[in-house]
Amino acid sequence: MDRFVRRLQRIGSSTLVSLPKAWVDSNGLEKNDEVELEAEGGWVTVAARPRGRPHREVVIPYPLPPEENIAADLTGAYLLGYDSIRIRGSPAIPSAEREKVRSLMRRLVGMEIVEEDSAEISAQFLLDASAISPQKTLRRMGHIVLGMYSDASAWLLGPGAAAPARRRRPDLLAVAGRDEEVNRQYFLLVRLTRSATIDRRLAGAFGLEGIDVLDYRVAANLLEGAGDAVVELAGSAGAPRAHRKKVHAAASRLGSVGAKAVEAFVSRDRKLAIEAIAQHRAFEEALRSAKASLGGGPDVPIGYLDTVYLLERTGRAWADIADLVQPVYSR
């Protein structure tokens, strides 16, 4: 980053400062063009006013090198914020690979195939990034994971767990299916945060500063991990019926921790975050008491240990999201 020193000049009642010629030329600015100023503390940032965001396109040649795969390349291009992705075959793209691309596109929110033939597939991101936001996306992720947890914990720890497996199985599979939507929203949020890192104007439209963008990426990763833990919880054998009551009280506290943690993070509500952290501590204490009542040794059922571990993993993810809410210090 280049640094320049300029003297302030006074003309009438105005204070002026000249801009570096090299910067003006590199941004294609001319007389009467407008620039944007952003002031904070002792800093003033000058940005060239955009005439329109440039369209970003990437071309992926096919066949790929042996060490590459089409899913990784497509996902990477999506997460890097490319508006258009073209897969260009030489001479053609096999039908099995084209079907793989179509399947993958369904997992990438906003990315749609607009042209396709035997030698080329063209996809385009059709959503306006400024019309969606990390806040809305994270909230949606949070609501889905909470719903998954509510269903999984009710079936495994409540009266429904005593029902025959054939009556529970479709519901548990539905929990895993909802995690696919969590993953879709996670990819979208990673795309948004990467784009906001590159484009400060987009970050401003989201109402986020540099550290906020990083925190959203961390929170999204934690929430995606919580979803994965809930899927494992739903697919596990669960605690044996005789031990279910020992963890039910602790597990019933956990949903409130998740709801408060996500809302506290998005709304930047430190008081709500402290409530979530305190409830998580109460959950941990209740779980410790449940574990202590069983003692140790080989007689502790594996299903019980799995349930406890997955509850701890889910709760830790939600508590870590609450920890990201910054304290407000008095000056």
Lowest mean pLDDT among 112-121, 146-155, 181-190: 146-155
Which pLDDT band holds residue 158 (cuts at 50, 70, 90)? low
SS3 (DSSP) at 238: coil
Q: What is the pLDDT of residue 159?
A: 52
**Cα 9-7-13 angle, rounded to 5 deg:** 20
Name which residue leads in pLDDT, 134 or 43: 134
Which pLDDT band holds residue 78 (cuts at 50, 70, 90)? very high
The answer to whether 82 and 56 have CB atoms below 8 angstroms apart is yes
Measured between alpha carbons, how far is residue 239 from residues 26, 110, 159, 163, 234 in Å? 65, 40, 12, 14, 12
Residue 140 has pLDDT above 80, yes or no: yes
Residue 329 has pLDDT above 60, yes or no: no
- Count the neighbouring beta carbons within 10 Å of the beta carbon of residue 258: 28
Helices H / strands E in the chain, number of each: 10, 8
The answer to whether 322 and 280 have CB atoms below 8 angstroms apart is yes
SS3 (DSSP) at 49: coil
Residues 45-57: pLDDT tens digits?
Answer: 777 765 556 788 9
What is the DSSP code string of 247-297? Answer: HHHHHHHHHHHHHHHHHHHHHT-HHHHHHHHHHHHHHHHHHHHHHHHH-SS
Q: What is the pLDDT of residue 33?
A: 72
Residue 147 has pLDDT above 50, yes or no: yes
Of 111, 181, 119, 197, the C-alpha closest to 144 is 181
Of 167, 140, 139, 142, the C-alpha closest to 155 is 167
SS3 (DSSP) at 241: helix
Residue 319 has pLDDT above 60, yes or no: yes
Of 52, 219, 55, the C-alpha closest to 145 is 219
**Stretch 195-222: mean pLDDT, rounded?**
89
Q: Count Cα neighbours of 79 within 13 Å in the Cβ-side half-sphere.
A: 14
Q: Reply yes or no: is the peptide bond before residue 63 cis, omega within 30 of 0.
A: yes
Residue 189 has pLDDT above 50, yes or no: yes
**Stretch 178-192: mean pLDDT, rounded?**
95
Q: How far apart are CA 85 and CA 179, in angstroms?
A: 26
Which pLDDT band holds residue 255 (cuts at 50, 70, 90)? very high
- Average pLDDT of every residue of the chain: 85
List, in order, residues 6 or more apart from 241 with CB less than 8 Å away. 161, 162
Q: How far apart are CA 276 and CA 270, in angstroms?
A: 10
Q: How far apart are CA 88 and CA 85, in angstroms?
A: 10
Residues 14-64: pLDDT tens digits?
Answer: 687 888 887 777 777 777 677 777 776 677 777 776 555 678 899 999 998
What structural domains does the chain harbor? 9-48 (no CATH), 57-125 (3.30.110), 130-323 (1.20.58.220)
Which pLDDT band holds residue 77 (cuts at 50, 70, 90)? very high
**Stretch 110-133: mean pLDDT, rounded?**
91
Q: Count Cα neighbours of 265 within 13 Å in the Cβ-side half-sphere.
A: 34
Q: What is the pLDDT of residue 171?
A: 65
Phi-psi region of 304 (alpha: psi -120 to 50; beta: other; left: phi over 0): alpha
Which pLDDT band holds residue 169 (cuts at 50, 70, 90)? very low
- Bridge partners (DSSP) listed for residue 84: 57, 124
User: Is pTM, for the whole model, over 0.85?
Assistant: no
